[in-house]
């Protein structure tokens, strides 16, 4: 019991420090400055018998690798990966200081509390405890704290996978996100993220002809054309695809059987999502079964009395795993119809990305099930997919199974989590920190032997 309290206190303190380090990544190369949290983690591991190395992609953009070397080169290598950067905040919406790391009634508040400094912290706690305990596994344990996940990972996980592949060579990877208990009649379901969609963004430039705003009749106004294009993209309905990860996940939730059947039927899922009362489930069901197109930015026009000749539209496109960049572009053109030839389509750098999917039936999945089942009796792990992006994709693209997991208590209802990711009032209870840290430790002992 004292040991469990010790784990909880240690993970809480480390999380608070990581939150206070304020490694805010706004997408610019000069932001993030994850070197602060790399120093925190290096100091934390100091003297514990963990070999640490730091890697710099750009000034201040550092990642840390810590290893416990295995004795058997044939045994599996497991990489636990957390990111140290966080997204910006709108402080006005917060009830507490977003970078204060305050502990209030067993809950730690702050940006990154669930995305994903909680896991970065608990993975470190487990690694350090194992090392201090003299854990000499057969398989190698690699702890990786990366920069830049929130801006696409090219200065963190992507950099290491490309430039230092020998340092992050692993047979299995675990990172965010999953493990928030969802209540069902048969106990709690814990999602293990096995796949994600690909961010396949596009910038559209709509052309028109400039003219005097006092004579708009029969002119070629780029803004008016853009408005029609935006509406067409918003209305576009690509065919649905049902992936096993979606089917398994929605079945495990034990919803009404008729509803479940409709949500895994490619011909019925769209109408079902349109008509259901639960908007959150509707959005999830739609996004997990379709490539989505969201026109989110528009810039155009220069002056109130000038008919604009140029409008830029940015579309956030998320492709299902298995959909190619060429297919995405064909869908976009189909959506725009006869206006497609009025538009130049550009892809921002590093955004021609496919989705990624890991195999589900692996020894690691079974070990995760054992480790979490022991801490949360009656729970079941279920493969799931995420509509967002994580650093897992860099490994999946190389054929390495990469899962998203963690273990949370039931104190904060699962319905709160989607609101807290990148939202206001991000927070985590300390029991969840204890559960995750204990789960990582048990998993490593079980899986790496
Ligand atoms: Zn994250």
Q: What is the DSSP string of 156-192?
A: THHHHHHH-TTTT--SEEEES-B---EEETTEEEEEE
Stretch 308-329: mean pLDDT: 96
CA of 422 to the centre of ligand 1 (A): 9
Residue 294 has pLDDT above 90, yes or no: yes
- Smallest Cα–Cα separation from 436: which of 177, 219, 142? 177
Taking only the tens place, the pLDDT of each residue in 72-101 is: 999 999 999 999 999 999 999 999 999 999
pLDDT of residue 352: 77
CA of 144 to the centre of ligand 1 (A): 14
CA of 393 to the centre of ligand 1 (A): 13
pLDDT of residue 19: 98
Residue pointed to by tokens 């290096």: 42
Residue pointed to by tokens 């696409």: 152
CA of 120 to the centre of ligand 1 (A): 10
Percent of the chain with pLDDT over 90: 96
Stretch 185-193: mean pLDDT: 95
CA of 116 to the centre of ligand 1 (A): 5
Adjacent-strand bridge partners of 294: 316
For residue 349, name the pLDDT band (cuts at 50, 70, 90).
confident
Q: Which residues contact 313 (CB under 8 A, 6 or more apart)?
A: 203, 204, 205, 206, 226, 229, 230, 295, 297, 298
CA of 220 to the centre of ligand 1 (A): 44
CA of 148 to the centre of ligand 1 (A): 10
pLDDT of residue 184: 92
Stretch 367-382: mean pLDDT: 97
For residue 348, name the pLDDT band (cuts at 50, 70, 90).
confident
Residue 285 has pLDDT above 80, yes or no: yes
Q: What is the mean pLDDT of the chain?
A: 96
Residue 280 has pLDDT above 90, yes or no: no
Q: Is the CB of residue 321 less than 8 Å from the CB of residue 359?
A: no
CA of 176 to the centre of ligand 1 (A): 6
Q: What is d(CA 34, CA 177) in angstroms, rounded to the nearest whole number?
A: 20
pLDDT of residue 158: 96
Between 433 and 352, the higher pLDDT residue: 433
- Smallest Cα–Cα separation from 361: which of 381, 379, 389, 391? 381
pLDDT of residue 228: 98
Taking only the tens place, the pLDDT of each residue in 218-243 is: 999 999 999 999 999 999 999 999 99
For residue 1, name the pLDDT band (cuts at 50, 70, 90).
low
Q: What is d(CA 33, CA 147) in angstroms, rounded to the nearest whole number?
A: 8
pLDDT of residue 418: 86
CB atoms closer than 10 angstroms to residue 205: 17
CA of 421 to the centre of ligand 1 (A): 8
pLDDT of residue 354: 84
Stretch 263-280: mean pLDDT: 96
The angle formed by the CA atoms of residues 68, 146 and 394, to the nearest 5 degrees, is: 95
Alpha helices in 74-221 (DSSP H): 117-132, 157-163
CA of 343 to the centre of ligand 1 (A): 34
pLDDT of residue 391: 97
CA of 75 to the centre of ligand 1 (A): 29
Q: What are φ and ψ of residue 332, in 5° steps?
A: -60, -40
Stretch 206-218: mean pLDDT: 97
Percent of the chain with pLDDT over 70: 100
Stretch 376-399: mean pLDDT: 94
- 0.85 cut: is pTM over it? yes
CA of 317 to the centre of ligand 1 (A): 19
CA of 165 to the centre of ligand 1 (A): 22
CA of 117 to the centre of ligand 1 (A): 8
CA of 419 to the centre of ligand 1 (A): 14
Q: Is the CB of residue 206 less than 8 Å from the CB of residue 310?
A: yes
CA of 195 to the centre of ligand 1 (A): 15
CA of 390 to the centre of ligand 1 (A): 6
SS3 state at 124: helix
SS3 state at 289: helix
């Amino acid at each position: 019991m004292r040991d469990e309290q010790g784990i909880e206190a240690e993970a809480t303190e480390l999380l608070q420090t990581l939150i206070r380090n304020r490694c805010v990544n706004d997408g610019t190369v000069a932001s993030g400055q994850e070197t602060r949290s790399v120093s925190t983690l290096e100091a934390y591991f100091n003297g514990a018998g963990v070999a640490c190395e730091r890697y710099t992609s750009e000034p201040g953009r550092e990642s840390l690798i810590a290893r416990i070397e295995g004795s058997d080169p044939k045994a599996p290598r497991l990489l636990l990966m957390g990111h140290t950067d966080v997204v910006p905040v709108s402080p006005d919406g917060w009830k507490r200081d977003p970078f204060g790391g305050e502990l209030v009634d067993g809950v730690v508040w702050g940006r990154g509390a669930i995305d994903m400094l909680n896991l970065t912290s608990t993975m470190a706690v487990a690694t350090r405890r194992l090392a201090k305990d003299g854990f000499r596994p057969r398989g190698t344990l690699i702890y990786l704290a990366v920069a830049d996940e929130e801006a696409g990972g090219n200065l963190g996980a992507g950099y290491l996978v490309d430039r230092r592949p020998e340092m992050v060579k692993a047979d299995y990877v675990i990172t965010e996100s999953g493990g928030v208990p969802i209540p069902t009649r048969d106990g709690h379901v814990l999602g293990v993220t096995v796949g994600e969609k690909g961010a396949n963004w596009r910038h559209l430039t709509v052309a028109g002809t400039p003219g005097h705003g006092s004579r708009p009749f029969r002119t070629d106004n780029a803004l008016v054309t853009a408005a029609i294009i935006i509406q067409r993209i918003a209305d576009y309905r690509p065919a649905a695809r049902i992936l096993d990860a979606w089917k398994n996940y929605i079945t495990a939730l034990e919803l009404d059987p008729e509803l479940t059947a409709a949500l895994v039927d490619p011909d019925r899922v769209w109408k079902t999502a349109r008509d259901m009362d639960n908007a959150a489930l509707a959005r999830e069901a739609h996004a997990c079964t379709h490539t989505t197109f969201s026109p989110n930015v528009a810039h155009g026009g220069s002056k109130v009395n000038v008919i604009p000749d140029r409008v830029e539209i940015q579309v956030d496109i998320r492709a299902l795993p298995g959909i190619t960049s060429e297919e995405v572009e064909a869908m976009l053109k189909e959506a725009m119809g006869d206006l497609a030839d009025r538009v130049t389509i550009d892809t921002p750098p590093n955004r021609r990305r496919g989705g990624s999917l890991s195999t589900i039936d692996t020894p690691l999945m079974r070990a995760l099930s054992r480790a979490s089942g022991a801490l949360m009796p009656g729970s079941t792990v279920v493969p799931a997919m995420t509509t967002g992006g994580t650093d897992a994709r860099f490994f999946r693209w190389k054929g390495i199974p990469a899962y998203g997991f963690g273990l949370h208590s039931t104190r904060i209802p699962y319905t709160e989590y989607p609101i807290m990711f990148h939202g206001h009032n991000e927070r985590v209870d300390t029991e969840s920190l204890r559960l995750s840290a204990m789960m990582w430790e048990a998993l490593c002992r079980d899986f790496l032997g």
